[in-house]
Amino acid sequence: MAAEERDAGRSQRGNQPPLIEGRGLVKRFGGVTAVDGMSIALAPGEMVGLIGPNGAGKTTLFNLLAGTFPPTSGEILIAGAEVSREGPERRIARGVGRTFQIPRPFAEMTVLENVLTGAQGQAGERAWMNFLRPARVAAEERAAVERARALLDFVMLSPLEGEPARILSGGQRKLLELARVLMADPRAILLDEPAAGVNPTLLELIIERILALHAEGRTILLIEHNMDMVARLCGRVVVMAAGRHLAEGRPDEVARDPAVVGAYLGAAA
């Protein structure tokens, strides 16, 4: 799909400026080009699937959008502000959170404590506030615990709040990470393979929670190999191959695209 067509598609989604936009992104690691001139835009409140064969550059693109590392060239905008050189702490402050394909909770901390690590801008983070404004610090800590418990209830982990995170299954760890990200109350969430390694029962719960977050108006970009899940969740799918934009459209359109079929069959071969 040409750039002009993608721009027209964005206009048809309500003439809103993108909440997240990557323009001509390139990321090189030595002699390897992982992302090669990739452009993508997400309108406020949109849920988009990002798919492609293994090695297509999807997670590298996520890392660029989340601020894990800067692009070699190109630019990233959040709500119109150029943020290409900002790190993840600034991206979360701007309302962009992300999860990881393999969650790594603090194993010996409790489930509740893990969620609390996602709280942002607490007065108690500044040592002097604990001496000069102890009441404010205590009030914020109580509010954070209340919010963390509400989020654990949202992801159905409340009964485990006092248990160490190491006891959680793979699917429960993904739910825990989602709750941690939500502690920062992001406007946009980048979800990296939330279905990977998850049993069918927990997968349904994850899908339900993603739909609930989208219903609240949050913008979601989803990397996923489970095409049934992508088709259920996303009105638009962007396909990457060899670090580049390959195709874009509704899930059913993309599934029939000969270029997409060829990319997946080529990867399998």
Find where tokens 């600034």 sit. 90
Mean pLDDT of the chain: 88
Give the number of other CB atoms < 10 A from CB of residue 28.
Answer: 14
> Which pLDDT score is estimated for 69?
94
pLDDT tens-digit map of 191-237: 999 988 889 889 999 999 999 999 999 999 999 999 899 999 999 99
Give this prediction's pTM. 0.85
The domains found in the chain, sorted by start residue, are 3-105+186-268 (3.40.50.300), 109-167 (no CATH)
